[in-house]
Amino acid sequence: MGTSQRYRALTRDLMWDPKTVNTKKIYPLVEAEGIRLKDPSKWEDPFRMTFNQYVKIQSEKDQLHHAVRTAFEANYGHTRVIDGRWFEGVKAFAVAVQPAEYAAHRLMAYIGRNIPIEAIRFATFNQAIDELRHAQIEIKHYADMSKYYDGLHAYAQTNENLWFNTVPKSFFDDALTAGPFESLIAISFSFEYVFTNILFLPFASSAAAVGDEHFVSVGKSVQSDESRHMALGMSALRMLLEEDDRNVPLIQSWIDKWYWRAYRIFSVISTLVDYYPRVRPISWKKAFEIYVEEQVINGLFKDLARYGIRPPRNFEDSVKEKEHYSHATMRILEHYKHANYFRGFRLQPDDYEWLSNEYPSTFDRYYAPFFRRMDDHVMAVASPGLPAVCAVCQIPVEFPDPDHPERPWTQYAEHNGKTHMFCSPGCKQIFVEEPHKYVQWWWPAESYLNGEFGNSLEDMFKYFGFAPEEANEYYSSRDYHRWLKYRQQLGLDKQYGSIVTD
Amino acid sequence: MVDSKRSLTPIRRQPWDWQTRNEYEEVTVREQPYLHGHYRNKYYKSDHDIYDPRYTALRSSNWDAFRDPKKYWYTPYVHSRKKLADSVTEVFDRARRLGIYYTIREPWKSFSAQLYIPLRHYEYAGALQLQHVIRYAMGCPIEQCATYTAFDKQGRSQWLTEWGITFPGNETDTALQPSKQMWMEHESFRKLREYMEKLLVIEDWAEVIVASHLTIEPLLGRLVYGNLNSTALQYGDVIIPQLSLVCQDELMWEEQWTQKFIEFIVNDPVTNRWEYLQSLGYADWPGDYRWGNTLSDPRQTPEDPRSNREIVSEWMNQWLATAIAAIQPLQMLFDEHGIQYEVQDSIDSVIEETLIPFIKKMNLENVQV
């Protein structure tokens, strides 16, 4: 019996047409969104993973990763990176990405439960359990960091309550509350297929360049599962497009919405590529050109044209923004670094040089003067209070219009007699199409004004899950001094004489 | 030996502000957010929060306080299942090389094909409905158990299929179509199939756990993966009993955590969901500004007048009677093939040895057995 025939036998024709209850009661959401299915049984899961193969491959992979982690922890690998400021970026990644992995775990189970297609179901179930894996190896990753550094010790509380975390949280909450097909396109296609390469690959190379072996292993181990998830996303998309022509406009509207939604939550990733590592293997701009423009827009969307699918509505905006994205985002982080569990930092001479070389047309002109203001006082650029944020992506509305970088890109829309504010045309369009959904967002500033965070600043930090000393600027922080002290204790800064060769 | 000069003193001994006693708790506790969900479901229970205590009638003062007795998180779970998968592969491989299937005697040979292959549908439906539990259950500690159990069921459904296409069907998938027909049409499976169809439309996630793991699974699982082993051996079948030993491992854990969950929930004195929300800090907020706006006020939520114990007892009562009635007709299959076995004896022993002691221990009043 051939492999594919065997795979089919193991994973298909397992559900049946029920005789005592209505099928629609078993799958109450299948018609809710207007997707039409004709013969989805012909659809194939590209990875053809069985239960036995899954547990064998994954347990070996998992064992390898945890061996790297254990060695890293035993040898205090965190002291060996070339500059401890890297961990401020890792903190941002950790507390934002891990809860997103966990949400994706619940979400994939929801999709698999509600879409009556067995091939999709087993693939989504594998992914559901993978996402739990990612959440947990990421927690293990920063559990060790938390014993030596600030900011992570109440990560779950921080994730629930802090303004910064509403960005990835609202993204996944948006998908979790959508119908199962929209969710599938949102996560499997728009998030996984279009963006996970740029999420995990450049940041993992930065980790390798600065010597963070634990994070390299997290990135690689996670990414090896993502390739399965990407394949699922691609097959799911083609299947829905081929099932019925009337699905095309609906799918297009979801691609339009979720492309911009996903692109926006990766804004912080751009700073983890361009700013936090002291040695940078690639810039955000180049990574965006390779992983998004080349692979996705010029590659994938050319293939999708035959289905009547065009590139996502706002992709040109994201292309224009590549010259500004990391700088504008880092500027936002510097503005609010006193209210975050990870720190900004004063740029060093080599940072200015690299940024200026990589972004010759924008960095010196629009952004360097802002960062220079920190030369005299590291908190000079901080904005008081909590930021005003976009009602869709929930990032502070401080992005410049890429066509006129001296002007803000902020947009407004009226709904039910109230004005709502957005960071960009992309987010505004998303709101205008589903205002009743987006007015439901949880806005920390509003909760703060309603007294939910308590009466004092001290109460507010307690609510966020960290103390004011855990925020602010890195090179003037206690974490920097801890890192120096750890290195000194381990003798890592000892200078050796020159090598005698004969 | 750690060289003390070369060891660093951590700034905190525990990674988190909340107490954890082991790696399992480190990566499980508080993983699910309880507060500040952003939007409501678009198509299903649109007045509920993303993670909402009202998805079940049961109430808890702290959903996160449940613990898996085996402390499975991804790493230990996947390692343990790799071992099980390896041993199933070995059992099938040796049986094939030794040609054991050809030494198995009738009538067990044709009987076992008709009993075991259709159960792939039973396992699959159980896995499917656990995905509903994974989405709507409260807290990672509970839904994580459901996740691994659902995967176990997917695995067993594949093992039964593999057995079905390797042995009785002789390396083809020709056995699967007739076995699906058995499942759909044969009188001996009718009530079991109907049971699973009803399970698939239960909305309350905790009721799914009761109807799946406390009633039908102990009855059917002990019969097909345990009590039948000696009969199988009498007819020279050493394949099914070895597969059964592996499946029993999984079923024992499933039963353990389910019983622990029931113990956890029936002993919680909380009677309304407002008390639970107060424990999250809602009490100090003089009215969440969103209540009445996008969320229904939990204080206005009608509460079930029954206690958790009464609710669980009623579920048990209803589903246990149906489960027994779903298993009994399997006797027809035994009789048709002339296999000397009393299904009722197996049912009685499960009730006697497992269910009654559990019902007594949990004080589930009025459960009729």
DSSP string of B148-187, one letter each residue = HHHHHHHHHHHHHHHHHHHTTTTSSSTTHHHHHHHHHH-H
Residue A381 pLDDT = 86
Comparing B135-144, B275-284, B309-318, which segment has the lowest mean pLDDT?
B275-284
Residue A375 DSSP code: G
Point out which residues pair with A400 in neighbouring strands: A408
Structure tokens at B83: 């071992």
Helix (H, G, I), strand (E, B) or coil at A446: helix
- pLDDT of B292: 47
What is the ipTM for the molecules in this complex? 0.95
Q: What is the mean pLDDT of residues B61-89?
A: 97
- The larger pLDDT score, comparing residue B332 to residue A447, is at B332
Contacts of B156 (CB under 8 A, 6+ apart): B123, B247, B250
Q: What is the mean pLDDT of chain A?
A: 93
Beta-carbon separation of B147 and A105 below 8 A: yes
Half-sphere CA count of B178, side-chain side, radius 13 A: 13
State the pLDDT at residue B293: 52
In angstroms and rounded to an integer, the radius of gyration of the C-alpha atoms of chain A is 24
Q: With CB atoms and an 8 Å threshold, state whether B39 touches A177.
A: yes
Inform me whether the pLDDT recorded for A398 exceeds 90: yes
Query: Closest residue of A to B139, CA-based?
Result: A106
Residue B11 and residue A500: Cα distance in Å, rounded? 41
- Mean pLDDT confidence for A453-481: 92
Query: Is A71's pLDDT higher than 70?
Result: yes
Mean pLDDT to the nearest integer, B327-355: 97
Provide mean pLDDT across the span A335-344. 94
Q: Which residues, listed in sequence order, are joined to residue B185 by a DSSP beta bridge?
A: none
Percent of chain A beyond pLDDT 90? Answer: 77
Q: Please tell me whether residue A385 adopts helix, strand or coil conformation.
A: coil
Residue B297: pLDDT band with limits 50, 70, 90? low
- In this predicted structure, what is the pLDDT of residue B286? 44
The mean per-residue pLDDT over the stretch A405-434 comes to 97
For residue A380, count other CB atoms closer than 10 A to its CB: 12
- A 30-59 near B (Cβ less than 8 A): 32-33, 50-52, 55-56, 58-59
Total residues belonging to chain B: 369
User: Do the Cβ atoms of B27 and A139 come within 8 Å?
Assistant: yes
Q: With beta carbons less than 8 A apart as the criterion, state whether B135 and B58 touch.
A: no
> What's the rounded mean pLDDT across residues A189-204?
84
d(CA B236, CA B232): 7
Residue A414 bridge partners (DSSP):
A419
A442/B38 Cβ within 8 A:
yes
- DSSP-based three-state secondary structure for B110: helix
Q: For residue A422, how many other CB atoms are within 10 A of its CB?
A: 25
More confident residue, A377 or B24: B24
**Can you tell me the mean pLDDT for A377-396?**
88
Confidence band (pLDDT; 50, 70, 90) for B271?
A: confident
Average pLDDT, integer, range B37-54: 89
Structure tokens at B230: 């000696």
pLDDT band at B1 (very low <50, low <70, confident <90, very high): very low
Kindly tell me if the per-residue pLDDT of B295 is higher than 50: yes
Per-residue model confidence as pLDDT tens digits over B25-36: 999 999 999 888
Chain B residues in contact with A137 by the CB 8 A cut-off are 74
What pLDDT sits at residue B287?
A: 43
Mean pLDDT for B52-67 is 92
Average pLDDT over residues A445-459: 81
Average pLDDT over residues B7-18: 94
CA distance B131 to B150: 7
Q: Determine the average pLDDT of the residues in A240-244.
A: 93
Could you give the count of Cα atoms lying within 13 Å of A85 in the half-sphere of its Cβ? Answer: 22
Q: Can you read off the two tokens belonging to residue A231? A: 């394949």
Residue with tokens 């005003």: A388
In the predicted model, is pLDDT for residue B105 greater than 60?
A: yes
Across residues A488-498, what is the average pLDDT? 88
Q: What's the mean pLDDT when you consider all of chain B? A: 91
The one-letter amino acid at A305: A
Residues of A in contact with B176 (CB under 8 A): 9, 13
What does the pLDDT read at residue A284?
A: 96
Q: In chain A, what is the straight-line distance between the N-terminal and C-terminal CA atoms, in Å?
A: 66
Q: What is the chain B residue with the closest CA to A107?
A: B135
How close B3 gets to chain A, by Cα (Å)?
11
**Contact state of A440 with B176 under an 8 Å Cβ cutoff:** no
Q: Is A372 exposed, middle or buried (0-12, 13-18, 19+ CB in 10 A)?
A: middle
Tokens of B239: 């394949």
CA distance A263 to chain B (A): 19
Averaged pLDDT, A463-490: 96
B 190-229: CB under 8 A from A: 193-194, 197-198, 200-201
Nearest to B17 among A11, A137, A153 (CB): A153
Report the residue of chain A nearest B35, measured CA to CA.
A160
With a cut of 80, say whether residue A451 has pLDDT above it: no
User: Is residue B239 within a helix (H) or strand (E), and if so which, with residue range?
Assistant: helix B239-266
Which chain A residues contact residue B124 at CB under 8 A?
14-15
pLDDT at A394 over 90: yes
Report A:349-378 residues touching B (Cβ under 8 A).
Answer: none
* Nearest beta carbon to residue A450 from set B13, B157, B289: B289
CB B56 within 8 A of CB B207: yes
- Residue A454 is predicted with a pLDDT of 79
The answer on pLDDT for B2 being more than 60 is no
Mean pLDDT value of segment B163-190: 88
Summarize pLDDT for A150-186 with one digit per residue, the tens. 999 999 999 988 999 999 999 999 999 999 999 999 9
Which pLDDT score is estimated for B343?
A: 98
